[in-house]
Structure 1
């Protein structure tokens, strides 16, 4: 490698760090008029540079030396800068990606690769804290069922196993079971009258509840709902040993059990960010398989953000032609990783339909998220004639350091855009909900727009946040007209314009969720301090992830009990509909890291969602997790080790 980049912490205090950046030219050629392009996880105070000039947009930084400085062979460029943040503790907080550009400004960029060394954090190494697991139990279902009775005997799953024709509500679960058993037994699994696995409809069983009875010669899956049959199937799949009793004949001995079970919360979800990094359909199906296996019932699909627009919209082909791609020579600048090349992708409507059907068979509802009015840079850059207010001189910087990512409430085009996009999304997704984001609209937005100020005067608004509420009330009307219910992050209540029909996701902390519940909103609890899977799982510097909210090891995840400080009869409890995990993907750009950040914490969250808090037990969970690791090993999953 001809170029190397070093970053070192040279001083720090509670809320400020000073860094030294050194670019080495290891080649035998001088570089003139060069610029260093790199991505960094914090906002750099450009005026603090000791040498050179810096421009930053999001995580994307361009450093130039000034005065046309030449980078001579076997020499280096050195500068220092300040970041107003708490001290860094992890290697992931260093420079993530970089390249050198020597093309004239405004011309086509031809990136030159730069090797990045691990950041010097100026701190002692920290030893990992193990979570030792006890021996596995004989039966290791996760989440813990309400009632499980072990009976003497076993069912032999082998060649010739068949499924009886399922009741209508069990057709999807039957297809799912067929697909799984086909992989295990290496043969097609027929559906016939004399099958030895039966789905039985029991009207008296509540939505989501099921009974599973394994006998020596027959397996009975009983439920009164599609979701109940999916949950029964999930438990059956977990009962199948990871290794066959007879390898040559693919025979599996399933323990005889009688299970009666039902979920504690009706909503049990996981959100995946596919805007910051594009996750292929194969990866999504892989995740949905495991969500179903552990009895989640919702996949929240974050499809749009500043860094990418990932869903095909017929009314605006520019959203995927332009907004789905970023790179050094694209309309949308690089961010996070892969910055030296064109990067991105999107999901066609047919791919979406296929994934919806796949998830439905496994009892998973897919809820799309189209994030408005913030986090809209990809859309705005794709449709500037529709979405840019040329008279707006407002100065703001969003949480992710953008100054041009908020829709204008004073533009007619904003409402045309929202209506057309939501119309197509509502038509495409059968889910009863549409999530419209609503988070992280920064201070300062709309304040220097004559049109926005005139709009505030027209409507008697006193606070710019009421303009956000104005947009969201319009979106809610569009969604409701389609027979659906709007969802939003907790900031959706800003401006006090939406109805109590909107379902709120609490993400910043539990208190925000409690406040919304007490105001009469139904709430999904997703506090970052317990459910954000992009948070690091340990305390060592080489542990992947972020820690802006916390460090989140497995035991902390499992400890979460929503609103546990309230009395059991507090009416706020009635508004808590469920719990959701989240994986934000700024740095999650490959299958290995994807798996590492999710597992095994996803299994802990599964139990938070399903099992009543009074029945949860950390020691017992660890024993069952120990048994589940054999399955994760067989599946080749790169989970985070506990010891």
Structure 2
């Protein structure tokens, strides 16, 4: 072809009406001057069509998870200016938001060549509301209308301030010894998040003198700020000084940008300490890959919110993202998706080879940066489920005599490591062994979620093992046996085993050397705490930040767990009705950023912010000190990651 065709794909969703099923429609338009023939249309979308989907005016050639390939009727020619329409009612789940539909597409030809197709946002029949992207810009109240005189998120637990002084131009920090590392970390943080604000500057440039001093008897993350002609920050160590400086930076920035709404105190004190020890955010880098630079910037946003755990979800079905010397195929094969590759295009990626992984040098760089910010990096390698990328890269991980196929939510076939296949354990121990050298965290997360019913039923090895351990056909006992063996390895290496709540099934793992992340419902988390498991709260209904902000079609995101706007996320308070014994096992809270729907960075900013800050305040501020009107008044001053802000 001498001219590169201009092709567009428009998709529509029509809800079920009058006995007619819901329908997903596709319309491919040829805006070039050349006819196109003998092609198939490949597209990806978060909402999957059924494995055996039937299309009107098209034939499905292949479906692999979210990747779909369809062909027009035999002999069809897409003439210049022509259109080809197809539709299907074979949907695993109805589309509920504009981001549910096709977000990448291309044409494929028998000779291996491809042509790109511009995929336009999916429209809902009868709905023409503008589509929303970017963080909602909560307005700062006008003069005299703020619920608080200073701007701080998370809100401190004791504020006793007096008066207001002329707002200083910046902070001139004096420190020595260990305190100097905290001062340097804050200076780096302020420069990176707000480069033009120059929050840190010398006295000669108008900086207010701030001295870091050692406060005897304080807990590691606690701090005390004393205001006067000069300011002192008292803390027992690095984290306390850093958090105290973050609070000062927020107060200064709010007063400088909105001097008629917020002030800088003339006298008094702030005494502060966190409500929970675990205040975290998870990030899924398998479905969407985020560069080292993006991860580092995200860590800086985290510390501005006084979050202290970064749960790094490094592997899943859709991608393996960490370098392993023993198995270079994991990244050579499992880190890249594209047309004709073992891993197909998924979640916004088209024909081109796309993806990436973190080298060991990059991991060490991120971990070192996190340490300067008081953030513990918790790695996750998701096993035994969600292992399609690993098995694709290393086919010998599967039982060679296994027959048939099982799926989780009709995703990838046979994507779980087999607990009865001995080579699996050598693989796990080699991978974990290399990662233990990179991550000093006491906790190592092993996944353990969403192994589907029917897993390993076609494996003679698994059937024999299940019979030996008294299983009933369910995979729960097989997974439990697998996890106990993996936990023994981690415990011997001095680590706490982290897992999703399913790790308690089938007999569970050793409670003394484990913690669970509760994600399905708060009631299940309470049950796990009652059983004696330490638990981190991350319910999908409120703390999964891939869920949409609202029910409207114009909002991007998922909705299988419902929707949760910033206010709903903020007012949720875990553990309020728990017994005192149950509360002893409540470690804290965690946001979960799953990336299936985050196919562009403006969607990321809309879904993550300011809800990440809402969760951060729940993790830090005592429940009785929380206030949605106050938080809303300050949310507009909080940073997002990419700088995308919604416009009405």
TM over 0.5, yes or no?
A: yes
Within a 5 Å distance, the mapping from 1:76-91 to structure 2 comes to 76-84=83-91, 87-91=94-98
Question: 1:523: which partner in 2?
Answer: 535
Q: Does 1:51 align with 2:57?
A: yes
The structural deviation recorded for 1:160 is: 9.7
Within a 5 Å distance, the mapping from 1:594-613 to structure 2 comes to 594-613=604-623
Counterparts of 2:561 and 2:21, CA distance in 1: 17
Question: 1:21: which partner in 2?
Answer: 26
User: For the Cα contact (< 8 Å) 1:271–1:580, is it kept in 2?
Assistant: yes
CA separation of 1:20 and 1:591: change in aligned 2, threshold 3 A: closer
Question: 1:249: which partner in 2?
Answer: none
Question: 1:563: which partner in 2?
Answer: 575
CA separation of 1:21 and 1:483: change in aligned 2, threshold 3 A: same
Q: Does 1:240 align with 2:252?
A: yes
Within a 5 Å distance, the mapping from 1:65-104 to structure 2 comes to 65=72, 67=74, 69-84=76-91, 87-101=94-108, 103-104=109-110
Counterparts of 2:266 and 2:362, CA distance in 1: 38
The structural deviation recorded for 1:132 is: 7.3
Matching residue within 632, 636, 644 for 1:638: 644
Matching residue within 212, 223, 229 for 2:225: 212
Matching residue within 410, 413, 433 for 2:423: 413
CA separation of 1:239 and 1:392: change in aligned 2, threshold 3 A: same
Question: 1:112: which partner in 2?
Answer: 115
5+ residue gaps, structure 2: 258-262
The structural deviation recorded for 1:223 is: 1.8
The structural deviation recorded for 1:346 is: 1.0
Question: 1:7: which partner in 2?
Answer: 11
Q: Deviations over 1:336-377 (max 9, x none)?
A: 112121111111111111111111111111111111111111
Counterparts of 1:630 and 1:464, CA distance in 2: 48
CA separation of 1:253 and 1:146: change in aligned 2, threshold 3 A: closer
Q: Deviations over 1:424-450 (max 9, x none)?
A: 111211111001111111121100111
Stretch of structure 1 that moved more, 80-89 or 92-101? 80-89
Counterparts of 1:257 and 1:275, CA distance in 2: 48
The structural deviation recorded for 1:266 is: 0.8
Within a 5 Å distance, the mapping from 1:583-622 to structure 2 comes to 583-622=593-632
Question: 1:490: which partner in 2?
Answer: 501
Question: 2:236: which partner in 1?
Answer: 224
CA separation of 1:452 and 1:159: change in aligned 2, threshold 3 A: closer
User: For the Cα contact (< 8 Å) 1:300–1:368, is it kept in 2?
Assistant: yes
Matching residue within 30, 39, 60 for 1:34: 39
SS of alignment partner, residue 200 of structure 1:
strand
Question: 1:179: which partner in 2?
Answer: 188
RMSD of the alignment, in Å? 2.9
Counterparts of 1:549 and 1:186, CA distance in 2: 40
SS of alignment partner, residue 380 of structure 1:
helix
Q: Does 1:338 align with 2:379?
A: no
The structural deviation recorded for 1:402 is: 0.9
Q: Does 1:121 align with 2:124?
A: yes
The structural deviation recorded for 1:30 is: 3.5
Q: Deviations over 1:161-194 (max 9, x none)?
A: 342213x3x354222123356655498869xxxx
SS of alignment partner, residue 36 of structure 2:
coil
Counterparts of 2:309 and 2:256, CA distance in 1: 32
The structural deviation recorded for 1:407 is: 0.9
- Aligned length in residues: 618
User: For the Cα contact (< 8 Å) 1:154–1:216, is it kept in 2?
Assistant: no
Counterparts of 1:323 and 1:81, CA distance in 2: 31
SS of alignment partner, residue 327 of structure 2:
coil
CA separation of 1:15 and 1:442: change in aligned 2, threshold 3 A: farther
Greater relative contact order (CA < 8 Å, ≥ 6 in sequence): 2
Q: Deviations over 1:472-506 (max 9, x none)?
A: 11211111111110111111122214111321101
The structural deviation recorded for 1:86 is: 5.6
5+ residue gaps, structure 1: 246-251
User: For the Cα contact (< 8 Å) 2:103–2:121, is it kept in 1?
Assistant: no
Q: Deviations over 1:320-347 (max 9, x none)?
A: 1221111113221110112121111111
CA separation of 1:638 and 1:120: change in aligned 2, threshold 3 A: closer
Counterparts of 1:341 and 1:546, CA distance in 2: 26
Question: 2:328: which partner in 1?
Answer: 317
SS of alignment partner, residue 594 of structure 1:
helix
Question: 2:260: which partner in 1?
Answer: none
SS of alignment partner, residue 424 of structure 2:
helix
User: For the Cα contact (< 8 Å) 1:205–1:223, is it kept in 2?
Assistant: yes
User: For the Cα contact (< 8 Å) 2:161–2:265, is it kept in 1?
Assistant: no
Q: Does 1:278 align with 2:289?
A: yes
With normalisation by structure 2, the TM-score equals 0.88
CA separation of 1:17 and 1:258: change in aligned 2, threshold 3 A: same
Q: Does 1:458 align with 2:468?
A: yes
Question: 1:248: which partner in 2?
Answer: none
Counterparts of 1:545 and 1:255, CA distance in 2: 44
The structural deviation recorded for 1:43 is: 2.9
CA separation of 1:332 and 1:180: change in aligned 2, threshold 3 A: closer
The structural deviation recorded for 1:15 is: 12
Counterparts of 1:422 and 1:228, CA distance in 2: 32
User: For the Cα contact (< 8 Å) 2:342–2:392, is it kept in 1?
Assistant: yes
Counterparts of 2:222 and 2:524, CA distance in 1: 31
Question: 1:60: which partner in 2?
Answer: 67
Q: Does 1:399 align with 2:404?
A: no
User: For the Cα contact (< 8 Å) 2:199–2:249, is it kept in 1?
Assistant: no
Counterparts of 2:218 and 2:424, CA distance in 1: 46
User: For the Cα contact (< 8 Å) 1:3–1:26, is it kept in 2?
Assistant: yes
With normalisation by structure 1, the TM-score equals 0.89
SS of alignment partner, residue 36 of structure 1:
strand
The structural deviation recorded for 1:77 is: 3.3
Counterparts of 1:12 and 1:159, CA distance in 2: 59
CA separation of 1:118 and 1:288: change in aligned 2, threshold 3 A: closer
The structural deviation recorded for 1:401 is: 1.2
Q: Does 1:305 align with 2:310?
A: no
Question: 2:443: which partner in 1?
Answer: 433
